Amino acid sequence: MAAVSLTLTAREVIFSPMQDQEMAPGADGSVGVIKPRSLTGFTPPHELKLDCGRKLGPITQVYETYGRLNRRRSNAVLVFHALSGDHHAAGRCRPDDPKPGWWDNMIGPGKAFDTGRLFVICANVLGGCRGTTGPGSINPRTGRPYGSAFPIVTLRDMIRAQKTLTDHLGIRQLLAVTGGSMGGMMALQWAVEYPSSVRCVIPIAAAARQSPKNIALQEVGRRAIMADPDWNGGDYYGRTARPVRGLGVARMIGHISYLSGRTMWDKFGRRLMNGDRLAFDFVPEFQVETYLQHQADIFVKRFDPNSYLYITKAIDYFDLANGLRNGGSLKAHLAARFKKCPSKFLILSYTSDWLYPVERSVELAEALKSAGREVRHETIQTTYGHDACFLEANRMAPIIREFLEANQAA
């Protein structure tokens, strides 16, 4: 890889291998209040060469850490977030913050990723909108937000950017890489891209490539955003209106795919907001309709529509089998990719997940076995659907904790 120019920004803290988080663990068993850090690299002339052929730099990455890095720097776990996540995976942003990080039920003292033993890192992905360089960031060539000038990025580009972060922290080999959904696919990409840099790989509710059904769902969401008159070709920054209506529709579509049919019946059924009275109008009146609208209203306040376009496109491009070039089976292509991966794998899937169903995890496990890799596949019985990767902490924790403890001691 080409040399990378790293520049410490004003928000960066010089790292100590025994550094604690910003405050003591919270009374609720969380990691406490966490302050994000940022790292800027790929400064010209050492820009990151993207898979699309273009170069991008400088690149700022925002990240958080939890727990302490041991003296051998051998206890680090890199967590990748899903489509709508960010670097704030655990703890609180401030003492009175009402909502913890998106994986707070999994990261912390005594949890699946036990910060009493582990040093956990989570960074906002390239193309995101929570501090890491993305379409809403300032383009140094124009002094204005990138908007439509931001280049298309891939999951591979995202992990190549994050590799400089672990290098900066002085970590030669991670104990594990992990994540759910898109995060699980990034963990798989890391395993084949940097095989000697990680001991354990834990993809959760993921797949070796994006399916045509999932591409179709995400394309509908993208079209909703681009059809919004306020999108303005992607250059809406600085304008009064953003394409929040289109983004809201995209979020609704996403939420439908995250829930199982059983969950929808149990949670909403066909219940109306006004008892048994029908409105005979095109207003939301079923509880499931108002739920989707509520989720959309929350989401558009914190997420950039352009980031949604770029990240979903990156997910759709993901294919570890490289499009089955030159023929052959999926299993054979994947086995060839995994042949040079010395890591041990733990794959988690969920019975009611129809976005990344159990069959996709079975494909991964069989390819890994064919490649002679050590793999354990656990399927969890649940009605939560794809959202189980964020909700079934009690079921996942003992499996992950046992796996990591065995391999940390090895």
Per-residue pLDDT tens for 11-65? 333 334 444 444 455 556 789 999 999 999 999 999 999 999 999 999 999 999 9
Q: What is the mean pLDDT of residues 186-208?
A: 98
As a CATH number, domain 7-210+319-409 is 3.40.50.1820
Contacts of 30 (CB under 8 A, 6+ apart): 90, 91, 92, 100, 104, 108
328: pLDDT strictly greater than 80: yes
Domain boundaries, the chain: 7-210+319-409, 214-315
Question: What is the 8-class DSSP label of residue 14?
Answer: -
Task: Report residue 401's pLDDT band, with 50, 70 and 90 as the boundaries.
Answer: very high
Q: What is the mean pLDDT of residues 304-317?
A: 98
The answer to whether 386 is a known catalytic residue is yes
Strand ranges of the sheet holding 37-41, from the earlier edge strand across to the other edge? 7-8, 37-41, 59-67, 119-123, 76-80, 174-180, 198-204, 344-350, 375-380
Average pLDDT for the chain: 93
CB contact at 8 A, 126 and 153: yes
Q: Which of 84, 181, 352, 361 is catalytic?
A: 181
Q: Which of 333, 353, 361, 387 is catalytic?
A: 353
Predicted local confidence at residue 18, as pLDDT: 42
The answer to whether 30 is a known catalytic residue is no
Task: State pTM to two decimals.
Answer: 0.94
Predicted local confidence at residue 1, as pLDDT: 40
Predicted local confidence at residue 192, as pLDDT: 97
Per-residue pLDDT tens for 136-159? 999 999 999 999 999 999 999 999
CA 214, distance to chain mean position in Å, is 16
- In this structure, the strands spanning 107-108 and 113-114 are parallel
The answer to whether 235 is a known catalytic residue is no
CA 47, distance to chain mean position in Å, is 23
Predicted local confidence at residue 21, as pLDDT: 47
Domain 214-315 class in CATH: mainly alpha
118: pLDDT strictly greater than 50: yes
182: pLDDT strictly greater than 80: yes
What distance in Å separates the CA atoms of residue 358 and residue 352, rounded to the nearest whole number? 8
6: pLDDT strictly greater than 50: no
Q: What is the mean pLDDT of residues 215-230?
A: 98
Predicted local confidence at residue 11, as pLDDT: 35
